[in-house]
Amino acid sequence: MEAITDNEHIALADKVDILELEERIKKFREGLIDEERFKLYRLTRGVYGQRQLGVQMFRIKIPFGRLNSEQLIRIADVSDKYATGNLHITTRQDIQLHYVKLEDSSEVWKELAAKKITAREACGNTVRNVTASAEAGIDPHEPFDVSPYAHAVAHYFMRNPICQEMGRKIKISFSSSEKDSALSFIHDFGFIPKINKGQRGFKILVGGGLGAQAMLARTAYEFLPEKEIIAFLEAALRIFDRYGEREKRHKARLKFLIKKIGLDAFLKLVSDEKQGLSPESFQISITDLSDAPPPEIFQPEVDEVKNVDKYRTWLKTNTFVQKQSNYRGVYIKVHLGDLSSEKARYLARIVRKYASDDIRLSINQNILLKYIRPEYLPELFTVLDGYGFAQPGYDSIADITACPGTDTCNLGVTNSTALSTELERLLENEYSSLLEEQHIKIKISGCMNACGQHMIGNIGFHGSSIKKNDKVIPAMQVVLGGGVDPQGHGYIADKILKVPTKRIPDVVRTLLDHFEKEGFENEYFNNFYTRLGGRKYFYNLLKIYTDVDSLKESDLIDWGEDHLYNQQIGVGECAGVILDVIGTIINDAKEKLEKAQKELQNLSSGAAIYYAYSSFVTGAKAALLSEDIHCNTHIKIISDFQEYILEAGKMSLPYNFQQLVLSINTSPPDQRFAEIYTKEAEQFLQTVINWRNQQQAPENLSKPVITSYYNA
């Protein structure tokens, strides 16, 4: 395939990122950058190590899942050229390309950036892709369109210095209504739109999350005016950056900080932090995000369909009346979120003819088309069906969410994709009457980290294993009772028991047969689950499937495999940390100081101040680690440096270090303060360098720093 030649359309910020990525790759290949250190860098550029050695997963960041047909075609072309020809839609409305060579990653980004597509902060300890309800803007239940707000938040925090090297990732969502279709209750920050006395604003939930220890988010505000949400998020991220855990990765998410200090204390810190922000209110323009117009009117050639039964089911499960009542939204069910490049290009042509050029990827790995005229539906169904795009059952029990599992992920324990395929086949063949059931969701993750969102499945599974003598058997942890009820209330599932993975279809049969027999008419599955006794009742119901003595040889082979199960778990890269030396940490402080000075020259006072703050903290960290003093949060680094370095008489400064550094949240963030603060950071770092050079023990100059310490 010939090179794509529209690189002149790349934005300056993307050009800088791409050039830097090329240079870092070159230095890494030359051995000038340590592998783990390079990993920390590349993750924030969307380059993620695969299970297979020598190739990468390239994650494309698509704020609130919004693409146009030209962008979809470009991603398809890039996948053909540099990856496998597959576009994998994720539960965070991203698209992932697999088997990309490291040296090609900057070229991938370059060709995507020409169409205003980025990979910046798609992975790593950053603000990840901001998600939103796919139906935002056309949802009949929405108070207003949340798309401009998701857009504003995504772009405000991209490349923002406050969220480039946090202790862990941050996930933000915007639901279109109180039905909470964007799952606010499992996010670090979830926004639900409200109108109060004619004013737009949001109910805000904080501190949710899945993973090994799932937690429901808590309500921070029942209503916060729209102009205050950016300031709230910026202050909250600064507090998380300063107080969040960094030594213990499994305790480093925002939910653990809030659990530790309490919601009221967290919100008090956030409120105090706002004093150092400018402005404290940020008016979001709802006109910045231009709407793609509906398609031009034409006379369809098809007004009848051949498969009437399938068409009727499709109309019921995959289409809906928009709030713009003369139009319909149409969902395309994408099995496992995998879309071939050929089909992507075909879909782009369909969009241009029948729909608004505003494609939305959904959080359940599907695609929404907007602004389709009712009279086009028979013809649209016919052309979609001809390419396998008209499968009924969108968001039904047969629309299973699954992560890639052992296909490509380092952390995968079992094959979640093959199991998903098996269960969808079972449901279509044996439970076709349930294909319209949209209040039971099945979700599968290949491990406990919940990329398949198993803990919010009414029926969920995550990869595990069971031992029988000297054999390891592929298994699934069964969880029940998660999800969002029809009223928008969120639930975290209960763990029930582990079952060999080959018996999972029987588990599903038993659950559905029991629901059909014992459930009330129109009863929500979670109410049925609770009414019958919850965890204890269903443990006893499913215990029969845990017997390993009756396993056959075929049960020792995972779904989709042709060999005996061999558990291989690598190291995940969701939050990379590195092994390093004191001198390197000082160099990091220098790099942050240089960024502060550059932002100062550009009159970007806010960015300059935060980079200077980061230089203060990093320099203090280097001094503390050289004295074997552990560092697990920014706030502890600041206070420990004051106590163990200055007050202990090991270094002398003409001021109170703690008060100086924390003046960031009490002083106005204007150019004058930025100049003073950056100058102080420069002088402080030089003091640390001089002190380091004067230390008597030569071995300290190359003293290793424990991996987890460095990440502070």
Domain boundaries, the chain: 7-63+87-113, 131-276, 308-385, 401-556, 580-710
Q: What angle do CA 53, 56, 60 make, to 5 degrees?
A: 165
How much is the pLDDT for 698? 47
According to DSSP, the residues that pair with 478 across neighbouring strands are 461, 497
Contact 496, 529 (CB under 8 A): no
d(CA 170, CA 43): 14
CATH superfamily for domain 131-276: Sulfite Reductase Hemoprotein, domain 1 (3.30.413.10)
For 501-553, the pLDDT digits (tens) are 999 999 999 999 999 999 999 899 999 999 999 999 999 999 999 998 888 88
For the domain spanning 401-556, the CATH number is: 3.30.413.10
pLDDT at residue 36 greater than cutoff 80: no
How much is the pLDDT for 8? 67
- Sequence-separated (6 or more) residues with CB below 8 Å from residue 354: 295, 369, 372, 376, 379, 380
According to DSSP, the residues that pair with 338 across neighbouring strands are 88
For 164-175, the pLDDT digits (tens) are 989 999 999 999
According to DSSP, the residues that pair with 472 across neighbouring strands are 467
Contact 83, 97 (CB under 8 A): yes
How much is the pLDDT for 363? 96
Token pair 């319209």 is at which residue? 436
Q: What is the mean pLDDT of residues 367-388?
A: 96
* Tokens matching residue 138: 């056309």
Contact 234, 161 (CB under 8 A): no
Q: Closest Cα partner for 237 from 162, 319, 177?
A: 162
The pTM score is 0.90
Beta strand ranges found along 390-441 (DSSP E): 401-402
pLDDT at residue 234 greater than cutoff 80: yes
Q: Average per-residue pLDDT in the chain?
A: 90
pLDDT at residue 188 greater than cutoff 70: yes
Q: Are the folds of 131-276 and 401-556 the same?
A: yes
Q: Are strands 199-206 and 218-225 parallel, antiparallel or unpaired?
A: antiparallel
For 609-635, the pLDDT digits (tens) are 999 999 999 999 999 988 888 778 999
pLDDT at residue 2 greater than cutoff 60: no
* Tokens matching residue 403: 């992560």
For the domain spanning 580-710, the CATH number is: 1.20.120.330
Q: Is the peptide bond before 374 cis (omega within 30 degrees of 0)?
A: no
How much is the pLDDT for 575? 46
How much is the pLDDT for 708? 41
pLDDT at residue 217 greater than cutoff 80: yes
The pLDDT-based confidence of 280 (bands split at 50, 70, 90) is: low
Q: What is the mean pLDDT of residues 121-134?
A: 96
How many other CB atoms are found less than 10 A from the CB of residue 549? 5
How much is the pLDDT for 553? 85
For 56-111, the pLDDT digits (tens) are 999 999 999 999 999 999 999 999 999 999 999 999 999 999 999 999 999 999 99
For 678-689, the pLDDT digits (tens) are 999 999 999 999
Contact 657, 264 (CB under 8 A): no
The pLDDT-based confidence of 696 (bands split at 50, 70, 90) is: very low
Question: When comparing pLDDT for 350 and 692, which is higher?
Answer: 350
For 631-650, the pLDDT digits (tens) are 789 999 999 999 999 999 99
How much is the pLDDT for 702? 46
How much is the pLDDT for 54? 83
Token pair 């995968």 is at which residue? 412
The pLDDT-based confidence of 7 (bands split at 50, 70, 90) is: low
For the domain spanning 308-385, the CATH number is: 3.30.70.3340
Query: What φ, ψ does residue 581 adopt, rounded to 5°?
Result: -125, 165
According to DSSP, the residues that pair with 56 across neighbouring strands are 49, 100
d(CA 439, CA 397): 7
How much is the pLDDT for 166? 92
Contact 627, 650 (CB under 8 A): yes
The pLDDT-based confidence of 581 (bands split at 50, 70, 90) is: low
* Sign of the dihedral defined by the CA atoms of residues 478, 479, 480, 484, in that order: negative
* Tokens matching residue 700: 């300290």
How much is the pLDDT for 555? 84
